[in-house]
Chain A
Amino acid sequence: MEQTNASVTRTPLDSVAVKRKSKSRSYRQSYRSCLGVASRLGLTPARRLTTNRKAPESHNITVNPEHLALLVKNEWQLAYVTPLHQFRHTQLRSYARHLSAFVVAEKQQGLAVEVSGLQNGFKASMTVVQGMSEADDDPETVLIQIHSKPLFSRPDDPQKLVWSGWLTCINGNPEYLHSLPKDFTCLPLFVYKGAENLSSLVKSWVQRTFDCCFGPLELSQTSLQWLAALWTNCHAESNIQHLRMLWTLPSAPPLQVTYAVDPHDVWELWGSVRKGSWGDGAGEARWIDLEEVASFMQSLKSHFYRHFKLDLSAGILNQVSTALGSARFNGRIKISNSAYVITTLTLLTECALLKMPI
């Protein structure tokens, strides 16, 4: 077994020349069936969410306040994107021109549109969001916005923002990012809001231009529980006001349970399940373990059972919300406090990377 593992190595790409092979017999499989990246990822057992992560710290991220305000005040839909091929951060202006022309052409079926011309209906813009990246390997976040003029507006009316979306990667798994060839840019998390048809137009343009695929990003039970715990953990620095959870129990008819907990109580509960040196701010306490999250949720459930004789473990956690933000099972999220944007986006990036097919 050891031997086989050792023999599974990649040969350098540049050795194209016809050369004599070493005497030891070895087999080759063509690229198609055994890509370097693919085979390694494909053969490893299913990837899982990390079991422990850093406790959220309030970041003073140096992002354009306008962008930050846009990010914070809205509710967003989540999606994942496979790595973009031949994406250049330096070409954003020309991409925006293409996107505008594409949107206009699709809106007016059967009418050709010049790419470099000025579109009067829709105007797309793409910008790099400086500072919205955490690790060195993370590619810079890209913000896509579409402005439009209402049909019956005066010529001097300002254009209205009708759609916006972010392509981002915060603390992406460096191993995965490094395994990709150079001409791929991995911005796995796509966060957007706006009219449904515009969303699908933007998606299909990005798909065609960078040969990638989109898929919806739902939040699993574990992710929602993580968010509940991470947000609760911030209470000392910023008041969460409440922890509200929405459960659906599989009874007939289905039972919706809204479970809101007082911030002080939940903070104390969280403190009691935290292991290690609690509260002294030492390095140990900065990490949160999945076990702690699980026992936190278990305590919440058993408390509920004691009062209402209903076991929430049988149900599905649909939504988690605090003053810092809210997240829904179907992949809608709202981040209300800019200080914890990075923590939340790190978790979401991880979820998006888990969805990558290879």
Chain B
Amino acid sequence: MAASLNSSESDRSSLGGQSASSRSNNRSLRVAEKERRRNEAEDPFVLALKYFSVVEAGTPVVGNDDFENNLVLVERTAYSQGLSPEAISIMLEFAMSLRMGTAPCARVLKCLIPASVVPQEAVVRAAVWLSVGKIPISTQVLFIKWVLTVFDMIDAKDQLRAIYGFIFSFVTEENLCPFICHLLYLLTQKESVRVYRVRKLLELQSKLGRQPFLLHLLSLYKVFCPELVTLSIPSRMRGAFRNHVSPWKAALTAVQKRNGSLAGSSVSPALAVRDKSGSRKRKHCHLQLPALTSVASDGARSEQTSSRTLVPLAHLQSFDQLLKNVHRIELPAQMGSLLGSSVALQYLDCIQDESALLRLNFWLGCALHEEFLFCGDGATQTSEALQFLSRLLSAQHFLQEGFSSSDAFLYKFLNVWDGSLLRPQILCLLSNIPVIPSSQIRKLLFEPLTQLFFTSSLFFKCGLVECLNNMLLKWLTWHSVYALEDDLDISLNSHTSLNITLSGFKDSVMELIHFVGHLASVGLQLEGCHALLLSFVLDFYETVCDTFLKFGLPLVVMPPAGVFYPAFFATDPVSVDRLAHIMHRYKVNLTSAKRQEKQKEAFHISRQTFQEFNHCVVFMVNCLWNSRMFYPGSDVQPGEELLLGSGVPRYWASFDFIHHPAFVSYALDFHQKCWPSRKEMDLSSIKDSKPWSWYLDYLFSQGFDGLKDFLKSNISRQAAAVDEQQR
């Protein structure tokens, strides 16, 4: 019924608009309207509302059947569908004006369940009645409780904020105070925090003692104006205002559910109560994130900021609020607190103020230094450190770059690190280090890392290679992003702080690749070419071989022999396949680089790189395809007598596709499938032209895509056929 009233209302207004524009519009509409009005006039609910709006002051309640019937009607509608905004206005006005005395007042208030929104004007008018009429205190409390319950449904808050001072005056009413404080908490803005209000509340505090409601309101005042009031909330006083009336709440949600709209739950203040659990045990708690608090503005500073009102970051709770206020956000008192909140992190991403970032870096650097470098007793609490570092890492991950203080810390820490303390976190931090000029990279990074690498376990070696791979990837990505931006040729110059030239960047990358190549060669030797380490090394070279095409960096560096041969002679087919894939990508990169080199002299790739590449490819093809392991000019050329003395039959063919230890099982399998009836195993029969191509297809069907690409790009079948005939 309320809904029907709603719609008729809106119809009426729209009709009014129409009649103004086109008066001669069809009569039928007007007739229909009349009809509806007549229907409405008969609607008992509308009649009931009419009764309450016009009932005269002083009408008796006792024995008044009209009143009783109408109120029951309203109540029934309220609990089933909720009341429309107009109905709320009428009933609220009726109750608070005490036209029929105080008796029905509470009863009416209890049934004020809004269907959609509560008009602000009604609330303001009712608040005014508070001071005029002689409403009993219990009913006043009931009214404020009702406002608190439906606060989120009030359609606007500007007029309510305008009478902030008026509402504040009720704070002295002892019974109302807790509820008024809650209401004020919901309405407070920076402008509303005044010295005399603070004094009033403090006066109350001295009268009433430590009351949570006063403290919570004052703590909000502190968020806005820390220069006026200060306090510290004990951790046991956690509960915020508990003023909701559950029957109302339940009725409200029931009505909302029925109407299919669920308004946001009422504002429950989130208070920054310092979490002291655990920290008390520790003497130094550097790893605690500071709380988000606002700056106490004083003298000089408040003059600057008075021109535009700033919003303290501590007051923002959602990304929406952040977006709305992004032009007038006030940085918190302690920059380190930004790391603790996700909204603040979003904001950190757009801060360009050098001082602000320097503050953050001082805090972060100090925390890291104190915890990991200066702590004499070495009693690092791992769980806390772990939590801190993971938070730092997630922030860095979000911002997609590291903080300079954590870099500076790492350069020192690497020299004293044992390689096992918080290894995953430290390695992850390490991979976020930005490009280091090649003149310093050795001292800062390579020297400590070399020591760690050669004195640590296999797993550390793998972790380090992975970390350096990530570092390289980040450097290259950074390059490709900025190289792309350079093509656009405009940029916001304010971001500039440190410039590196292209050649400087290339030098650094080259140093890094050579360094990893060196580590990998020696590491593989030390660990007996362990398959796990080899896999991480190949990961690294998968990044390296594609620097030109994937990241647009004109640089091609071949793997050293210490990586190439272990990978090729590996006993697992996956490594060989990945090596083939890497060589294939090298070829694609080199050919496309060569093509570009011809077009424009963008860069020059040295002959030596090509020679190294050719050398590797020729070796692989000769071994795998031609069964000519030893040929003049190859790296591996033992004396003839030595080979004969070894007693290996057909030694020149021991690393072709059939006899390579990585593939011999496939060859056997293929042999059985191809000639199931044969009793004697004769692997060399696969070498014949037809079975050979079947065999290759069989290998490719096993998922060796790297080999497939490698063969496709390096061997033309015709040449292969000729080769075959020669043999």
> Which A residues lie at the B interface, using CB under 8 A?
1, 3-5, 7-11, 13, 15-21, 24-39, 41-43, 45-46, 82-83, 85-86, 88, 90-91, 94, 98, 101-102, 105-106, 109-117, 180-181, 183-184, 207-209, 211-213, 215-216, 218, 355-358
Contacts and interface: CB of A to CB of B under 8 A. Distances in A.
Given A28-B482, A85-B359, A106-B232, 9 more contacts: A25-B486, A30-B495, A32-B403, A39-B497, A91-B299, A113-B231, A115-B229, A207-B334, A213-B362
A27 B491 contact: no
Contact of A4 (B402, B483, B507): B507
Given A17-B493, A109-B232, A10 B498 contact: yes
12 contacts: A4-B504, A7-B499, A13-B494, A19-B493, A27-B479, A94-B298, A110-B234, A111-B231, A208-B333, A209-B333, A213-B286, A357-B408
Contacts of B495: 28, 30-31
Q: Which 6 A-B pairs have the closest CB atoms?
A: A357-B365, A42-B408, A213-B366, A38-B404, A112-B231, A4-B504
Contacts of A25: 483, 486, 501-502
B187 interface: no
B198 A114 contact: yes
B719 interface: no
Contacts of B226: 115
A151 B355 CA distance: 44
B618 interface: no
Interface of A is mostly: loop
B232 A27 contact: no
Interface in B624-682: none
Contact of A27 (B284, B293, B505): B505
Nearest to B195: A116
A114 B199 contact: yes
Interface extent on B, as a size class?
Answer: 35 or more
A30 B497 contact: yes
B684 interface: no
Interface in B409-444: 409, 411-412, 434-440, 443-444
Given A31-B495, A98-B296, A357-B408, A5 B439 contact: yes
- Among B358, B479, B489, max chain A CB count under 10 A is at B358
Contacts of A9: 499
A184 B230 contact: no
B612 interface: no
B411 A42 contact: yes
A30 B399 CA distance: 11
A26 to B, nearest CB: 4
B355 to A, nearest CB: 5
Interface in B365-409: 365-370, 374, 376, 399, 401-405, 407-409
Given A1-B439, A43-B440, A7 B205 contact: no
Contacts of B440: 43
Contact of B405 (A19, A38, A115, A207): A38
B233 A110 contact: yes
A261 B403 CA distance: 50
Contacts of A355: 369, 374
Interface of B: 195, 198-199, 201-202, 205, 210, 214-215, 218-219, 222, 226-234, 237, 284, 286, 290, 293, 295-296, 298-301, 333-336, 352, 354-355, 357-359, 361-370, 374, 376, 399, 401-405, 407-409, 411-412, 434-440, 443-444, 478-479, 482-483, 486, 489-505, 507
B444 A43 contact: yes
- Among B359, B496, B501, max chain A CB count under 10 A is at B496
Given A31-B497, A85-B359, A358 B365 contact: yes
A85 B411 CA distance: 26
Contacts of A46: 412
Nearest to A5: B439
B203 to A, nearest CB: 10
A97 to B, nearest CB: 9
A94 to B, nearest CB: 5
Contacts of B290: 207-208
Contacts of B363: 82, 211-213
B404 A7 contact: no
Nearest to A88: B300
Given A16-B494, A105-B231, A211-B363, A32 B198 contact: no
A356 B358 CA distance: 12
A27 B214 CA distance: 55
A88 B199 CA distance: 28
A169 to B, nearest CB: 16
A36 B355 CA distance: 11
Contacts of A29: 401, 434-435, 478, 497-498, 500
B369 A215 contact: yes
A183 B374 contact: no
